[in-house]
Structure 1
C-alpha cells in the first residue's frame, strides 16, 4: 500500500535509577495509508478513525488527537501536523 503522509511524534519515557530520574524522548512516526494509520504499537483501520485535531502547547509543538471508534489517542508532536491532518481529511472525503 502506498504511503500518503507521515507525521513525527515523540514518546517521553521516564527512567528511574536508585539515585536519579531521567526523561528520555523516543522519536516515532505516524503513517497514513489509504486503509489505515500506523504508529509504533497501534494500527487504526481508516474507517474507525473519525477525525483528527491538534492543540498547540506553549509554542513548543503540541498534541495530535486521533478520534477513533475505540477512544481518543493522543500523540505529542514537536511540529504542526497540519499537512498530515489535511491529507487524512482529503482521504476521508474521497472515501
Structure 2
C-alpha cells in the first residue's frame, strides 16, 4: 500500500535589491502524493480532482511536470525523474475506481 510519494520542484522568485538589480532566487518545494490527494506549497488537490499527471523532459535535463485537474493545468519545474510518482498516481486512481 502506498503511504507517500514526493518529488522536488522549483520556483523562481524575482526581487529588486537595494541597488535596483534584479535578483532571481530559486526556491525548492516538495510535491507530495498520498492516498488523499496531491499537496504542493500553494495548492492541495483531492485525488478525485486530479485527472492525470504528464511530463515534458528537456534535452539539457529536468523538465516540467503537469497536473491536469478540475481547476486547470498546473505546471512544476522538476529535475528528478517523475516516473515513480506518475506510476504511484495511476495505481491510486485505479484502486479508487475499483
Q: TM-score, normalised by structure 1?
A: 0.91
What SS is found at the alignment partner of 1:60? Answer: coil
Q: TM-score, normalised by structure 2?
A: 0.89
- Alignment correspondent of 2:27: 26
Correspondence list, 1:7-86, <5 A: 7-17=7-17, 18-86=19-87
Where does the alignment leave 5 or more consecutive residues of structure 1 unmatched? Answer: none
State the number of aligned residues.
94
Considering only CA atoms, is the larger Rg found in Structure 1 or Structure 2? Answer: 2
Please state how far the C-alpha of 1:34 moved relative to its aligned partner.
0.5
Please state how far the C-alpha of 1:19 moved relative to its aligned partner.
2.7
Which 4+ residue blocks in structure 1 deviate beyond 6 angstroms?
A: none
Pairwise CA RMSD of aligned residues? 1.3
Please state how far the C-alpha of 1:80 moved relative to its aligned partner.
1.6
